Amino acid sequence: MQDRKTAIITGASQGIGAGIVNAFVERGYNVVATSRQVSASSAFRASGQLALVDGDIGDPETARKVAETAISRFGTIDALVNNAGIFFTKPFIDYTMEDFRRLSSTNLEGFIHLTQRVVKQMLAQKTGGSIVSITTPLIDHPIAGLSASVAMMTKGGIDAISKNLAMEYARDGIRVNTVAPGVVDTPLHKDNPKDFLKTLSPMGSISDVQDIVDAVVYLTEARHVTGEVLNVDGGAHLGKW
């Protein structure tokens, strides 16, 4: 039990996050799963390896509770998956400052609050660690008709900080990578027709949660990979099709 690694997963109550929680528990990790209502989720089985912490990721108090739970229950923090995120499209001129603040709070402030605590703990442990965050290929490869400018300002921030942190903490063995999914079949897309979603990748298909989970697990355990963006998007990052 002592040798188990501990992973923190945000945005864990459903969709990609819930899939990542189940995969890490199955792989023998201790897991702290967090989201606003993760304790009400029926996406995973109760387990001594799993601790649930409710809270808004944009609130610094949530990061404090999550990090303290990981250390008091399991002793270490070895991996973090910054998966909590919101996304919506709008013409640029229709985005409001309230939209911007909501996107920034969840996608950016949430990243900073928790990642700072995790890096501090990893530095104290002196055994390295992994941070994987979920972004999107739309940051660098916008699709005509899918207007997400302000949302991309925040997701692009995660991409930029991940590369910078990869360099800053390389000597400490803390690896920082991102997974950039195309369209994934999750509750995020419950109101979008599948036939339309399939047109958003050259392969003409959409990913399952497991496709993204596999990429996150790979990067978490890839001991010599850092500063990388792993596109899991059926080729959407290649450009026009």
Ligand X SMILES: NC(=O)c1ccc[n+]([C@@H]2O[C@H](COP(=O)([O-])OP(=O)(O)OC[C@H]3O[C@@H](n4cnc5c(N)ncnc54)[C@H](OP(=O)(O)O)[C@@H]3O)[C@@H](O)[C@H]2O)c1
Using CB under 6 A, list all residues that contact ligand X.
11-17, 35-38, 56-58, 83-87, 106, 134, 136, 181, 183-184, 186-189
Please say which residue, 27 or 36, places its beta carbon nearer to ligand X: 36
Q: State the minimum distance, in angstroms, from the CB of residue 105 to ligand X.
A: 7
> What's the CA angle centered on 157, arms 125 and 41, to 5 degrees?
70
Please say which residue, 159 or 172, places its beta carbon nearer to ligand X: 159
Q: Residue 59: how many CA atoms within 13 Å on its side-chain side? A: 11
Find the Cα–Cα–Cα–Cα dihedral 40, 44, 46, 48, rounded to 10°: -120
Query: Which of 184, 152, 213, 160 has its CA nearest to residue 26?
Result: 213
Q: State the minimum distance, in angstroms, from the CB of residue 194 to ligand X.
A: 12
Contact 86, 56 (CB under 8 A): no
Please say which residue, 76 or 181, places its beta carbon nearer to ligand X: 181
Q: What is the largest CA-CA distance in the chain?
A: 54
Please say which residue, 3 or 195, places its beta carbon nearer to ligand X: 195
Please say which residue, 76 or 177, places its beta carbon nearer to ligand X: 177
Q: Which two tokens stand for residue 125?
A: 């442990």
Q: State the minimum distance, in angstroms, from the CB of residue 206 to ligand X.
A: 8
Q: State the minimum distance, in angstroms, from the CB of residue 53 to ligand X.
A: 10
Q: State the minimum distance, in angstroms, from the CB of residue 177 to ligand X.
A: 15
Q: In sequence order, what are the residues at sequence separation of 6 or more whose Cβ sits closer than 8 angstroms to the Cβ of residue 181?
A: 16, 134, 136, 207, 211, 212, 215, 232, 233
d(CA 80, CA 107): 15
Contact 75, 46 (CB under 8 A): no
Please say which residue, 37 or 199, places its beta carbon nearer to ligand X: 37
Q: State the minimum distance, in angstroms, from the CB of residue 51 to ligand X.
A: 15
